[in-house]
Structure 1
Amino acid sequence: MQPTPVLQYAVAWLQVAEHELLLFTAFWFILGAIDDFAVDLCWIGLRLRGRCRDERITRQAAVAPLEGRAAVFIAAWDEAAVIGHTISHALSAWRQDDFTIYLGCYGNDPATIAAASQAAGNDPRVRIVIGDTPGPTTKADCLNRIYTALCADERRYGRRYRSVILHDSEDMVHPAELAVVDRALAHADFVQLPVRPELQPDSPWVGGHYADEFTESHAKALVVRDALGAAIPAAGVGCGFSREMIARIAWRRGQGGSAPFAAECLTEDYELGLLVRREGGRSRFLRVRDEEGNLVATRAYFPATVETSVRQKSRWIHGIAFQGWDRLGWSKGGADLWMALRDRRGPLTAIVLACGYALVVVEGLLALAGFSGLQGGVPLSPVLGFMLQICFACFLWRCMHRFGFTTREYGMFEGLSSIARIPVANYIAIMAGRRALWGYVRSLRGMAVRWDKTSHEGHPAAPLAAGAPLAVGALAR
């Protein structure tokens, strides 16, 4: 059967699309791979010189009194399912008395207030702050209300806190965290500890891909960033600031020094970490292990469905890539400029990945055309063929790193699973990039920024509360 002109035209169009998509994706994939490979080389160099070894903290040092009082900020809206576990575990894990958990709640969220009050009991280390504005506002707005309460308490009792530590409502803290942060703030103005996503049996693909990404980022990328002396972004959990630095950032923002957190920003924690560097402060990313070898990190369950994961990651891309560019501009230092480019490449990555998967569809259609007697794909040019070989080698290199870091923290099975989860992570990145772009466009049209928070149902400390035979040390790796 002779092919019709329409089919011939369609095949010719697919051949053109194949060539352009191959050239576009190969170029940008190689450019991104060079960027990642530079970080890999820095990390390998640090390893060879012994500068990537995790520090250690003794059991006695982990429970020693702090040099000064610590204020722990937690913003909570609609968190009745998890906030009780967070508070009760923190109060039992942290043996020090010189800290206060400031929990920001809303008057129209009585369930969260009740759960927090029940978990806190009469413990004076918990202070529930209820604002006048109904929720939800933005997370930064809630944190600013907490900061106002902190300043009022300092004036009322005539004592000033030494540090401000940020956490989320679903976090499970490590017993040594306060001691590690307190000790590090003697030589720094901001300290970030690792985040360790917990594996979820009911969500091995979506929930599991967070473990892959955070493990590699917090064991390599941020280690390199710290070694280069670049600004460290705050993750919003497990991060501590000196009281003086928080006050300086608050005065920088105006409003009488009462609002250190940018209420109009979707990633106020990320921005806060970068502002420390711009204020002349010193930032550190620390990896510390306790006597049992467990990593001093914040443990939490991350979104378990594609929809919630896309919503969360789109907020990160919107805040870091789009708002970060608008609000912070570009740094002049070489290391800071490099890291800003890496932070803001999320939208471009989504486009390149989308083109890559579109290429898979085009190749399938061309193969089908070839089987049907029509002309299929055209031969590749030597240059393009060489570029594709480089892409494949880079992909294998990335798989090796992903496998190695995930295996080190979660075991061989999860290491192998991390490679199988790459397509899932790519799909979420594509959809999140698209959603972030539309959200940014809507904000340019004047739409107000809202707290598009993630709903939380499970908590890593819940087995402890239920009486399961799990050790606190094992849960705080």
Structure 2
Amino acid sequence: MLFASFTAAEWFLLVQHELLLFAAAFFALGMIDEFALDCTYLWCRITGRIRTPRIDERELDQLEGLAGPAAVFIPTWQEAEVIGSTLTHMLDAWAYAQLTVYIGCYRNDAATIASIIAATRGDPRVRLVVHGKDGPTSKADCLNRLYDALEEDEQRTGVTARLIVLHDAEDMVDPAALPLLDRALWQADFVQLPVLALPQPDSRWIGSHYSDEFAEAHGKALVVRDALGAAIPGAGVGCAIARGSLAQLARASQGKPFAEESLTEDYELGLKIAQAGGKGRFLRVRTAEGRLVATRAFFPPLLDQAVRQKTRWMHGIALQGWDRLGWGRQPVDLWMQLRDRRGPLAAILLVIAYVLVCMIAVRLVLEQIGIAQAPPASPLLQALLWLNLTGLMLRFMVRFCCTAREYGWRQGVLAIPRTFVSNIIAIIAGRRAFAAYIGTLRGAPIVWDKTEHRDHPALVQRDGQVA
């Protein structure tokens, strides 16, 4: 009977208060989680469990050779704009006779095939593999076709590859990356190098917001995972798998080591190797002059492209990952999986947060004109709001530090407002990911929903624009 006497304005204030309490509680949990990760990172840095070694010229010279044959897998679909630059740079940077680059193409993608042939100029280290199906199928299907080609070559020549490195058609590799991966696999089964999403002058907000996210994820989060011994997920580029580990996955999956029913087969790869008892490592190394040994790339500069990419990541990691991989048994793995899969919940909370901003503005108007008066905030709500405000300032500071470390203080400053761009993209991608997930549950096929790439870091490297 009490609620029946409420006016519309009073109902509005009640709903706004309850939404605020709900959002503040869940945002506080997220802030506590991030603070715990920050503290773990600092503690591991202080105790020496986290460090970034530097390699000088002498050590680089010692790394020039490879311990055994290496294969690089590059799946492509409509990548004529960038694949030539990728191959030209890769073959120059990794001038090893024991290297074979397997490039997967589709028979209905003549432009990409022509671009590969023109760029390689008959280099015997390049193996062009034309898929027997029209494209696109899925990225994992293309990778499995490359694995078949590798097995065929091994049977024909009697020479077995020691490691397989995964890359995308738009990547710029580091000259020191391949020998470092080769050496690291003596003590691991899976190794992931950092990815640097380069800032883009022509896309300071959308394309460049990836710079901030990867700088923090690959400068802090994955570093902590490695220090704590958690399973290391694959990024799909700049990662190497021991030949025996990939063969083990193939035997367990009818000869197909890459999961064709998954949208994020690269993410699953590292976790599956860990589940099978293999050891994963995240390798963060700098040269003597301070260059981070990493894979560099430009990420989507347009809103619709960024949304599509984030949709695939959220769908594959957060929603499919729950179904396909289950949950880890070790506390640290469970913690990291919870972090990986919070994307859809975070998108919902962000929607509520932006709705609350509008509702609070309406509330202030109602109070000013005397229609209704909001009750004072409870001590619990006040504590949660202060916790969230403090946590938000800390998040801005950490984001600034991570981005500034790789790209300079100006990009670090821009990283703060770019957080809101990231939030908007996450909200849109979250809605699409839910819709796509429901579609796959109803039997929709997994299709390679790739983004277009037109610019390549190697083309601007000579101008000093590449970090």
TM-score if structure 2 supplies the norm length? 0.96
1:61, distance to aligned residue in structure 2 (A): 4.2
Using the alignment, how far apart are the partners of 1:357 and 1:281 within structure 2?
A: 43
Check if 1:421 corresponds to 2:434.
Answer: no
Aligned with 1:312 (options 309, 313, 317): 309
CA distance in 1, matches of 2:373, 2:434: 35
Instruction: Map 1:30-41; keep pairs closer than 5 Å.
Output: 30-41=28-39
Distance 2:59 2:90 in 1: 17
Other structure's SS at 1:421 match = helix
Partner AA of 1:447 in structure 2: A
AA matched with 2:324: R
User: What CA deviation, in whole Å up to 9, does each residue of 1:115-164 have, x standing for no partner?
Assistant: 11111111111111001100000000000000000000000111000000
Q: Which amino acid in 2 is paired with 1:152? A: E
Match for residue 232 of structure 1? 232
> Could you say what secondary structure the match of 1:461 adopts?
helix
Q: What letter is aligned with 1:9?
A: T
- Give per-residue Cα distances to partners, 1:76-111, cap 9 Å, x unaligned: 000000000000010111132211110000010000
Task: Name the counterpart of 1:4.
Answer: none
Query: Is structure 2 residue 50 aligned with structure 1 residue 20?
Result: no
Q: Secondary structure at 1:420's aligned position in 2?
A: helix
SS class of match (2:66): coil
Which position in structure 2 is the counterpart of 1:171? Answer: 171
1:155 pairs with 2:152: no
Deviations 1:421-467 (A, max 9, x none): 11111111111111101100111111111111111111111235xxx
> C-alpha separation between the residues in 2 aligned to 1:291 and 1:69?
27
CA contact (8 A) 1:199 1:211 kept: yes
Q: Within 1, Cα distance between the matches of 2:420 and 2:182?
A: 40
Structure 1 segment 226-265 matched on structure 2, within 5 A: 226-253=226-253, 255=254, 257=255, 259-265=256-262
> SS of 1:451's equivalent?
coil
Query: Which ranges in structure 2 are unaligned for 5 or more consecutive residues?
Result: 1-5
Q: Give the aligned partner of residue 5 of structure 1.
A: none
Of 279, 293, 297, the match for 1:296? 293
Which of 324, 348, 353 is matched with 1:351 structurally? 348
Please state if 1:445 is matched with 2:432: no
Q: CA RMSD in A?
A: 1.3
Deviates further, 70-79 or 379-388: 379-388
CA distance in 2 between partners of 1:469 and 1:92 (Å): 18
Q: What letter matches 1:260 in structure 2?
A: P
Match of 2:54 among 53, 56, 72: 56
Q: 1:382-397 alignment to 2 at 5 Å? A: 382-397=379-394
Give the AA of the match of 2:174. Answer: H
Note the C-alpha offset of 1:376: 4.5
Identical counterparts, % of pairs: 53
> Which whole-Å CA distance do the structure 2 matches of 1:14 and 1:202 have between them?
43
1:20-169 matches, cutoff 5 A: 20-62=18-60, 64-169=64-169
Moved more, 69-78 or 408-417: 408-417
Which amino acid letter does the alignment assign opposite residue 34 of structure 2?
Answer: D
**What's 2:333 paired with?**
336
Structure 1: how far apart are the matches of 2:75 and 2:28? Answer: 41
Query: Aligned equivalents of 2:30 and 2:241: distance in 1?
Result: 32
**For each residue in 1:341-370, what CA deviation from the matched residue of structure 2 results, as whole angstroms up to 9, or x when unmatched?**
111111111111111111001011112222
- Give me the whole-angstrom Cα distance separating, in 2, the residues matched to 1:96 and 1:51: 33
* CA distances 1:252-274 after superposition (whole Å, capped 9, x unpaired): 11x2x2x1000110000000110
Shift, 1:53, TM fit: 2.1
CA distance, structure 2, for counterparts of residue 127 and residue 414 of structure 1: 39
After TM superposition, list the pairs within 5 Å mapping 1:368-407 onto structure 2.
368-407=365-404
Distance 2:12 2:421 in 1: 26
Residue deviations 1:14-69 (CA, integer Å, cap 9, x gap): 20221111111111001111111111111010111233321222335445110011
SS at match of 1:101: strand
- What do residues 222-243 of structure 1 show as CA deviations (whole Å, max 9, x unaligned)? 1110011110000000000000
- 2:202 maps to amino acid: D
1:270 maps to 2:248: no
Q: Which amino acid aligns with 2:161?
A: Y
Aligned with 2:169: secondary structure? coil
State whether residues 65 and 98 of structure 1, in contact with CA within 8 Å, keep that contact through their aligned partners in structure 2.
no
Partner of 1:3: none
d(CA) in 2 for partners of 1:455, 1:275: 29
* Counterpart AA for 2:278: G
CA contact (8 A) 2:297 2:456 kept: yes
Secondary structure at the aligned position of 1:96 is classed as coil
Unaligned runs of 5+ in 1: 1-7
1:110, 1:292 → 2: CA distance?
42
Q: Which residue of 1 aligns with 2:429?
A: 432
Superposed CA deviations along residues 278-313 of structure 1, whole A, max 9, x for unmatched, are 111111001011232100000000111221111101
Aligned-partner Cα distance in 1 for 2:431–2:193: 30
Equivalent residue letter for 1:298: T
Deviates more, 1:283-292 or 1:82-91: 283-292
What is the match of residue 220 of structure 1? 220
Cα drift, residue 373 of structure 1: 3.2
2:3 counterpart residue number: none
Partner of 1:280, secondary structure, is coil
- The CA deviation at 1:11 is 1.7
Residues 367, 377 of structure 1: 8 Å contact kept = no
Asked if the contact 2:50/2:227 (under 8 Å) is kept, the reply is no
How big is the shift at 1:371?
Answer: 3.0
Give the number of equivalent residue pairs. Answer: 460
- Deviation >6 Å, runs of 4+: none
Normalised TM-score (structure 1)? 0.94
